Each structure stands twice: as structure tokens, then as C-alpha cells.
Structure 1
Amino acid sequence: MRTVTVVGASLSGLYAARELRSQGFDGRLVIVGDEPHRPYDRPPLSKDFLTGRASEDHLALTDDEETTELDAEWLLGKRARGLDARGRTVLLDDGRTVSTDGVVIATGASARRLPGPRLTGVHTLRTLDDARALRDELGGGPRQVVVIGGGFIGAETASSCAALGHAVTVVEAAPLPLVPHLGAEMAAVCAALHRRGEVDLVTGTGVAGLRGTAAVTGVALSDGRVLPADTVIVGIGATPNTAWLAGSTLALHDGVLCDDGCVTALPQVVAVGDVARVGGTRAEHWTSATEQPRVAVANLLAGRTLQTVGLLPYFWSDQYGARIQFAGRRQDGDTVRIAEGELADGAPAEGGFLALYERDGRTTAVLSVDRPRPFMRARRELVRGGSRPQPAAL
């Protein structure tokens, strides 16, 4: 290959560029990004950046030295508009084309929005520009904030808003937030963190619409209630950015369909990160975005699938001063055992806890609240084969 184009100046796109160079590719490297910013770290957007504890400089994932070493052509503020049927040409929205021998698709995902007119005061939190706008608004004095969606982004943003002194309500359509990830028992425990942060949690009801003309004034719930709101943050998930691939020969279904090695139907095209459905699963987690590129690039340079991704699912979240960590593959029917620490009135007690999900005598997953060292040991046991960690190992 003489030219490889990375479409997406994202975390996974940057890691793919790094892998290309470290694995010996010395040809032309083009990085296309629809945002005008160099790659930056997204997790702090809902936490330290929103609360003012971190500046934009702390978000940067590259510096001038690495930029020089990568020796890449950066086409920032340029959106990919198409990929030809053979995957050899990337068409940009300004009419230019990039001829290429290989393509890494790393276009990520976009925040879902509520239907209806755009109102001032309604935000999503996915990009640096999103976070800038929300931070500026929250800095204007106390506000009534409604967060729609109790997932990780919603919970972290609610936590940050509460820390800034705003009155916050979280609306979650499911009976409990995070049930698909944690199961009902542990989801209830983590939901109690909202109470700790003095945030109201409304569950089991959806959103019927927003109130207001030019600016939002309230959130109408499907049960008939209306929550007053000066600021609304919509955290109802994300949609993979695949529209630009319509008309190509790639298979698309809630992401770019890949085999277990991140390789698409075209061997010269691989996909990584939030946009990639690898082996039937699309994982919107930091670890997937940083670990998939190594395998994807190796297969791209080889022209066929030689390596596969064998990651143990892992994610973390910082909420209300607590660090939640989870690893493994939980299934309905798993039993949960508190291996360390304890609960107090259904909430994490001081010092947190470590919980093991078990099935047929084996540990399938591990959850920790403020127990990072025991969690990492238990996670290593899962990686080594999924056997139950013994008390000495914990």
C-alpha cells in the first residue's frame, strides 16, 4: 500500500494512525476529520471539562512532536461524503477526492436528538463544541436542569451539573438506569448514587415533548407531568456515522459490519471504534476504540484477516464522586455476590464494594464502586480465563 486514509480524526482514528506507523507503514497517511479540532479525549467532556477542572489543553491527545512523527496529511473540518464501490477513493464534502489503497473507517457516532423544533437551552454532549456551549450556559447562574436519559453520559453530566450547584432531575424511561449493563440488582445500587448527589431521579416514564417557543421552559413526560427546565441535556444514545457510506458495497446495520478482525467485506477497508460492528457487536467504549486499531491495522496491511479481537468488555464511569468499573459479560440469570465491602440501605457504603457476577460456579463479570485495586485483580482473572477469583486473589 502506498496510501492509507483514516476517515475520522477520533480517538480510534488516532490510534489507527499510530499503529500504521508502528507496524511499518511508511507511505502516505491521510487523516480526515469533520471537526476542526485535532483528536481529543471525550470522557472528560461530561466531567472535568464541564465543571471547569480541566481546560481544552488537557483534552488534547497529540502534541506537536507526535504530529511531526506521524507525518500525516490532516484534512480537518472536512466531512467524508462517499466511498467508491471498490473502496479506493474517498469523496469529501468540498468536492475533493482522496485516492487511496486502504481505508480505516473511524467516523464514530453522533448523539441522538429528540424530534421537534430546535430550542435554545437544549443540548447534547458528544463533541468539544457541544461541551463548550453547555459549559458556557451553566456558568450563567443557577438553573433548573433536566437530563433525559440515565445512561453513562446522562449520569455523569447530571453529576457535574449538581456539583456546579444546579437543581437537577434525571428522566429515565426504563425502571432503572443501566439495567442492560448491570442487571436490575446492581442497577438499583448505582441508581442510589443520584440520591447521594441530591439529584431527583424519575424512572419508568418517557418524554412526550419539550415546552417552549424560542427557549425551552419544560419537559413534558408521557405520564402527564411537566418538569420545569432552563437547560435540557439529551443523553439517549448515539447513532453510528455511516450515512456517507450509502452506495458503497459495505454492509451497514447499526454500524459497519466487520468480521472478528475489524475487516469489512472489502479487505482493503477496516473499521474501528464506535462505528464498527465487530463480530456482531458494536461497543461504544474507550477501551474498544484504543485496542481494536492494533488488530485492524495488522489485517489491513496483510490484506486479509490474520488476527481477531478478543477483548473482555470493560467500561468505567465517574459519578457523584464515585468510580464505577465493570468488566465481563453479564447475562440474565447470573447471581451477584458482594465479595468486598458492603451496601448501606441499598447504596454503596463508605469505601465502596466489589461484586462478582457468577454462573455455574464461574465468574462472568465484576463490578466495582470505589474499589479499583481489587477490581483490577478480578479483571485480570477474567482475562486469564473466566475462573472464579479466589479470596486470596481478591
Structure 2
Amino acid sequence: MKILKLLCLTVCLIGNLAFAETLLVQKQKFTTKDFRTFNGSVIDTVNIGWEAYGELNEDKSNAILITHYFTGNSHAAGKYNESDPLPGYWDAIIGPGKAIDTNKYYVISSDTLVNASVYDPNVITTGPATINPRTGKHYGLSFPVVTIRDFVNVQKALIDSLGITKLHAVVGPSMGSMQAIDWAVAYPDMVERMVSVIGTAQVDAWLVAGLEKWAYPIKQDPNWKLGNYYDGEKPIQGLTQSLALITQEAMHPIIFNASNPNHNPLSEGPLNDIYTSYPVVDWLYNAAKARTEVIDANHILYLVRANQTFIAGYNNDLAAAMNQIKAKTLFLPATNDLLLYPQMAQQAHELIGEGSQYEEIDGMWGHLDGIFSIQSKAEALTTFLEQ
């Protein structure tokens, strides 16, 4: 979407005005064998991509893990090449002298299991689109259901491989906030600080039903074929509808309407022809269709399910899970978020109680304020990380 790219470019430029240096990063690959999932399945080989910014200090005490959002990936900051048009999604706050200062911290970010953008050459992930070494065919729906805890445990294996025993902080937006919170619950002695941006500690019934709307169009596409489409036509129509829903629901009506200032309810075409779309509909769906080049439909289904099954601690007792957290915590929901509304973060913050901090991100982007307006909380992040 042009408006998203333009704003991201603007935010990144503003965030970099004081920093002439371009942070160049390299994608790396991590492999772990015989990975056991939360539901007891075993994946023979898991590959994920990761990247890092800054330098690990001698006692390996300065590592910060960034966990990404639903359709995101490990590219949180910097560029792979000087010629890249845009840096990573949180470049405004990650880098030399920025809120998450790479002169002080070794910042790690990894792709998740079942990453949405499996066809992006800069993404490394294992999921339904991966070839099953036992059969020589794509896993498809034979791939086990995975959870946010599984994302966390793959990251834990990566962190262990680097010889890091303490994380200065785990920080993530949206689905990344779920990972950050579950890190603090699953490994309380390892996580010293946790920052949840536009997040929640538990997916409620309302959100489970809402997430299913993202999965439903894919399942209704005739080309989906119960996930067995890898040797034929892909379910592009269903995937396009899914991505359009995801995009619209992540945006607040204020910015959505501002992105389409010339909308006319009485446009001649739609007024006289039921087959004619409004320009705003074409704008939304054309942008969504363009994203289907790198995103896999089955991977979206698995990400939906991973989010639907989320409750921090995975024991159906959120209060007990929050009581396990030893880390200092900071919750940064977005005031105008209509997807993961502020009350969700407020609930976790209140359950943790003393020592937890809470601030809201003001902006007009809704859920996307956690990406595009994050720099407004740069000072709060810096202060929190130095406590």
C-alpha cells in the first residue's frame, strides 16, 4: 500500500535525521533438530532466519530480543543493502543512539515458525510450505499446529546457541508482544525486562472470532483444496480477501478515510452498475493482491491458529502466569487501537501490579500506531531499558 510505504519512509527519515550512518545487517540462518511442539508433535528440522544489530559484550549481558508482528519478519531495523528503499519496520527506534541503542545493546530479531512471507527471499522459516524431508512433498496441513510458545521456544534455542543466558529485554509489537509476554512467563529467570507494544496477554473469545474472519476466505477458495495446492493454482482470491481484512482492521477509520480523500458515495459507476467497485475497494484489494506474491495462504491459517490459542503461560490461569513474571514490565498499547484494544494490555498490567509500567501511544493509525508512531515513546523506552 502506497500510503503505508510513504508513512514508513517518513517515520524512518525523521528517526534518522540525526544519524547519517546506515545500519547494514546480514540475514543468518539457525537450524534446530527434533523440535517438540507444545502439543507434543515433533518437527524433524526447523530453520529460521535471524539478524542482529550492535555487538555482544564480553559477558553477554547486553542482548535484547525483538519479536515481530503477525505479517512481519526479522527485519526490524537497518538495511540489507544501501540501495534498499526502506529499512526495517522499527528503524526509528533501533540503531546507534536511538531508543534501543545498538551502541549499547546487541539486538537480535528472528523470523517465526510459519512466517507469513515464506516466499520473500529475505525470510527463512519452516511451515506448511516447507518440503517434508520424510515425504519429499510440502507439509501442507500435515504440519503440526504451532503456538506462540513454540515461537518462543525456537527463539530460546537460537539464544542458547549464542551462549546468552540473560536477556536485557524482550520487546515486541502485536503478535510480537504475545511472544514477549510469554518469554517473561516461560523463562522468568532469563528475562530482565519485557516491553509489550500494542499487545495482549490473552486472546479472548471476541478476538478468536475476529481472527477467524482472516482464515475463512482462504478456506472458501476452491483452489485451497484443504491445503493441498502447492502443485497447482494457489488460493490467491481467498488470500487476497484475507490480507485486505487484516489491513483494514489494523487501520483506524481516521487514517483509512484520510488515505481515500476523494471517496464519493454517489460515484457514477457503483451507482449504476452492481459489478463496478468503488475506488477505495480497488485500492485496498489491489494492495492486498500484490502481497500474495510473498505470502502463503496456509501460513496465514497457521498464524491465525497460533494467535487464537494464545494465553500467556499456557495453563488457563492468566493471573498465575502474570505472577510468575520477574521482569520489569512496560505496556505500550495504542489509544485508538480497534484490534488489540488498550484494555487488553491494561488487564495484564494490573495483574502484574507493582513494578509494571503503562503508557498509551497516541496517534491516528489505530493498531498500526505500534509501528508508525512508536518513536513517540522513544524516551520512555530509553528510560525503561536503563532502569
**TM-score, normalised on structure 1?**
0.30
Whose strand fraction is larger, Structure 1's or Structure 2's? 1
Whose helix fraction is larger, Structure 1's or Structure 2's? 2
Greater C-alpha Rg: 1
**TM-score, normalised on structure 2?**
0.30
Name the structure, 1 or 2, with higher relative contact order (CA <8 Å, separation 6+): 2
